Amino acid sequence: MTTTFQLGGDLAVRRIGYGTMRLTAPQVPGFSNAMFHIWNAPDDRRAAIAVLRRAVELGVDLFDTADSYGLGENESLIAEALSPYRDEVVIATKVGAVRPAPPEWIPLGHPAYLRQQAELSLRRLRLDRIDLLQLHRVDPAFPLADQVGALKQLVDEGKVRHIGLSEVSVEQLREAAAITPVASVQNLYNIGERGHEDVVEYAAAQGIAFIPWFPIGAGAHAVADGPVAEVAAEVGATPAQVSLAWLLHRSPVMLPIPGTTSQSHLADNVAAGDLRLSDDQLRRLSAAVPVR
């Protein structure tokens, strides 16, 4: 199992990155759903900055964010913590979702809007060029070709290095790849959520990075007597580490980006990159965990 991947063919990154979404404020008054909480700057900015800097110290070199996380505050936080960036640090962000209120995530793929948001991301991140710009969601109101074309224009202008897509099908990936090279796809995927197996296989065949969001999942690794916990006991690891290791073994193009606000959990997540599972353990994990 390799520990690094050439993102876009020219950016060597370790296969466990860091997703920054959880660094936003822990709650929004009046809303209970966790997805509503990605709205404000973190309550403890110093602690959030410390986690980002600790990630770099631990060797993490792929950081994923979005212009919609904290309405841009998340990108500003990354810049405050890591700018000026080391040469090996790769920043990925996303455009194409608007947040008029905490519970709302609305795709907006107007080409001019996508280009404007990329310009704002460049400013907040303090970058001259974004390493990986991803279309957060495909907007059905506009042709996919127009949305991908807007991102390609940014590449042609030298403002973006590589393009990625999020929550897309194989057919949409093929359509986008006919317009411009696609470096990554970011879909929901973990040991218990495997609805995008065909996308994983296509990405592997094409050398496209598959960045699973929600890589650990909420329940599959938390059952005390479940298969993930059993394997964790066998290898002397945590269930979360086993869940991440399963992803790394699943495909050589898999780049999990677990998020956390805890430095100790961060260290555990990074250490999962060195965890080796036997063929029998992988078989048991794949077969025994319910797939949704």
158-185 pLDDT tens trace: 999 999 999 999 999 999 999 999 999 9
pLDDT of res. 267 = 98
Mean pLDDT of 17-28: 87
Quick count: other Cβ atoms within 10 Å of Cβ 150? Answer: 23
pLDDT of res. 291 = 66
Structure tokens at 272: 């999962």
Q: What is the 3-state secondary structure (H, E, C) of 237-251?
A: CCHHHHHHHHHHHHC
pLDDT in tens, 57-88: 999 999 999 999 999 999 999 999 999 999 99
Structure tokens at 100: 């008029």
The residues carrying an active-site annotation are 69
pLDDT in tens, 257-271: 999 999 999 999 999
Q: Judge if the upstream peptide bond of residue 143 is cis by omega within 30 degrees of 0.
A: no
Q: Which long-range contacts (CB under 8 A, 24 or more apart) does 227-231 make?
A: 227/284, 227/285, 227/288, 227/289, 228/191, 228/285, 228/289, 230/284, 231/277, 231/281, 231/284, 231/285
Q: What is the CATH number of the domain that holds 236?
A: 3.20.20.100
Half-sphere exposure of 230 (CA within 13 A, CB side): 10
* Count of structural domains within the chain: 1
Percent of the chain with pLDDT over 90: 86
Quick count: other Cβ atoms within 10 Å of Cβ 112? Answer: 8
Q: How big is the chain, counted in residues? A: 292
Using 50, 70 and 90 to split pLDDT, how confident is the model at 245?
A: very high
- β-bridge mates for residue 107, sequence order: 97
Helix (H, G, I), strand (E, B) or coil at 231: helix
27, amino acid identity:
Q
- pLDDT over 90 (residue 219): no
- pLDDT over 90 (residue 36): no
What is the full DSSP assignment across 186-201? E-B-BTTB-TTHHHHH
pLDDT of res. 223 = 74
> Which structural domain range is residue 123 located in?
4-288
Percent of the chain with pLDDT over 70: 94
Structure tokens at 136: 């957060």
Give the dihedral sign, CA 187/190/195/201. Answer: positive
14, amino acid identity:
R
